[in-house]
Structure 1
Amino acid sequence: MSVPEQPDKGPPLPPPKSERPTDDKQLKPGWNDMAEDIFGLSVRGLVTMRDLVIRPSLVFDAARRPDWLQRYTPSIRLVSSLVALMLVLRIFWAGEDSAMYQSVLEQIEEVAPTISADGGSTALADNYFAAWAIVFPLTYLAVQFLAAMCVRIWGKGVPQVTRIRLYFAAIVPGVILANLSLIATPLIGPAQLALFTTLYMVVCGLAYGATAYLGLKSSYASPLSRLWRGALFAVIVLLADTIASISSSVLGGIAAGQFHLATG
């Protein structure tokens, strides 16, 4: 018995319009790409920050997926961009009239009164902030990365890479607060700097704890389980913040002093 001949299907049909390669016009960079070029932040990064503030569990769930569900910016990149933004905001917190600058200047004049002659203390303060701007990002990211490798509050069997992702995602609201506080520093005087710093650390600790608490919603149904984990996370991150800040100040001071002696 002969097999019936198959009808000719003709040439293959073109793919649907939605599957066709995008044209050159669609591939041209836009303002979102410009924001990425300048600040390292894109619309996706802004969405990530928004969700980490109001509904962090969505970002935490995405952090457990290799591609972040193609919805969110990787947390380490986002934190790095926000830390870089701090340096852009130096005009607010490191200007000669700022409380932070005046505080550093007073410390220099107390420790080394002989340097204040001929504007030496001002030059040393300028060198300190220049050195700090280089040292702080590297120190901060290194300390936080080490802390992220040690924190294990995210659930059973969570891989180390995922733990690091979750840690950096949970500190984003605190880093946002850090940038906002730097903008506010021109509004305070040197006498209020200590009180302002204390209030900032309290608010920042609450932000760290609340983000971890809300973000772990899908991992721990019990509010008590999330509460103690959020409190522990806040303490660890505040400790890491303090270590990074002190280390940066010491290293920045040493670098500024050596530069001052070399050019003195």
Structure 2
Amino acid sequence: MSDPSPDNGKINAPGWSELIEDAFGINLLGLQTLWAALAAPAHLFAAARTVDWEDHQYSPTLRVWLFLIAILMFLQFIWANPDSATGQQMTSAFAAYGDPRLTTKEIIELALQRYVFVYPVILMLFSMMAALLLRIWGSGATNVVRIRLYFAAIIPGLLVTLWTSSLTLFISVDDFVIYLSLASAAVFFADFLTARRGLAAFNNVGSRTWRAIFLAIINLIVYMMASTVAAIIMMLWLEKDLGLGAILNAA
């Protein structure tokens, strides 16, 4: 049996785009989608309404969003470790239970690992629910189109989250609330601006504005709910795994 010949004209050699996809799970088309979400959201929104993203000009926005979430989870060693502001905040919260065993570095590390494992799943579920329920896109927006458009609108905000997460190493626990407020405001503004620019099909400026504000509010609520639910599941998981139920109930 002969090996396939590279000269038969039927085999295309992989290029740099394929190498990037091998390494990071996204190709150059995905990077083009990221750029469109930032620079030309109206064009990306229009492509989301077509079956093939305007002849495959863009990667599906849900796929790009999941890729960014994967990066955020990969960077957990920055924002989700006992020495980060997130870890310090969790230590302070656990200290309220009055049991010193809950504030050991090992328990905080375990709690953060549980949270990082649960959070993206919960965020994905809430984001999908928001995408299906949000009706700001005008006529002809099927469930699939709503999902495409919603994730197109929140990609820049997730990029802001990636950037602000890298700052947690430099934030003290005393400044954590201020940091969280500013980071949330930055995400809100990114969501609002992207949606307002992307909804260019609505000629009425006022209509675009209130729709964009509504989307930004909904996505902020999604983040808050996902964080809260993930924290609750993390605590219940810790109680089950470590037998802390009696300790916490007695505290």
Structure 1 length normalisation: TM-score? 0.84
How far, CA to CA, are the matches of 1:256 and 1:36 in structure 2? Answer: 36
* Number of aligned positions between the proteins: 236
The DSSP-based 3-state class of the residue aligned with 2:196 is helix
| CA spacing shift, 1:198–1:22, aligned 2, 3 Å | farther
1:137 aligns with 2:120: yes
Equivalent positions of 1:1-264 (< 5 A) are 23-24=10-11, 27-69=12-54, 70-115=56-101, 121-217=104-200, 219-261=201-243
* Separation (CA, whole Å) in 2 of partners of 1:124 and 1:164: 38
Q: Which has the larger radius of gyration?
A: 1
**Cα distance in 2, alignment partners of residues 144 and 156 from structure 1:** 21
Give the distance between the partners of 2:125 and 2:232, measured in 1 at CA. 16
Q: 1:106 and 1:225, CA in 2 relative to 1: closer, same or farther beyond 3 A?
A: same
Q: Residue 190 and residue 77 in structure 1: after superposition, are their counterparts in 2 closer, same or farther (change >3 A)?
A: same
Quickly say closer, same or farther: Cα 1:79–1:22, change in 2 above 3 A.
Answer: farther
Q: Deviations over 1:192-223 (max 9, x none)?
A: 11100001111111111111110010x20111
| Cα distance change on mapping 1:162 and 1:22 into 2, 3 Å | farther
Distance 1:252 1:38 in 2: 31
Residue 109 of structure 1 contacts residue 115 of structure 1 at CA under 8 Å; is this kept in 2? no
Give the unaligned 5+ runs of structure 2: 1-7, 245-251
Task: Give the conservation status (yes or no) of the 8 Å contact 1:108–1:121.
Answer: no
TM-score when scaled to structure 2?
Answer: 0.88
Question: Hey, what's the Cα distance between the residues in 1 that align with 2:21 and 2:145?
Answer: 24
Give RMSD over aligned pairs: 1.7
Within 1, Cα distance between the matches of 2:225 and 2:45?
Answer: 26
* Distance in 2 (alpha carbons) for counterparts of 1:191 and 1:41: 38
Name the CA distance, whole Å, in 2 between partners of 1:65 and 1:101.
44
Retained in 2: the 8 A contact 1:45–1:72? yes
Distance 2:81 2:113 in 1: 12
Aligned partners of 1:145 and 1:22: how far apart in 2? 43
Where in structure 1 are there 5+ consecutive unaligned residues?
A: 1-20
Alpha-carbon distance, 1:242 to partner: 0.8
- The alignment-based identity, stated in percent, is 28
Following TM superposition, the consecutive aligned residue runs of length 4 or more in structure 1 with deviations greater than 6 angstroms are: none
Distance in 1 (CA, whole Å) between partners of 2:14 and 2:243 is: 48
Cα shift readout 1:83-127 (whole Å, capped 9, x = no counterpart) = 1111110121123321111111222123242315xxx62222111
* Residues 37 and 44, structure 2, Cα contact 8 Å, conserved in 1: yes
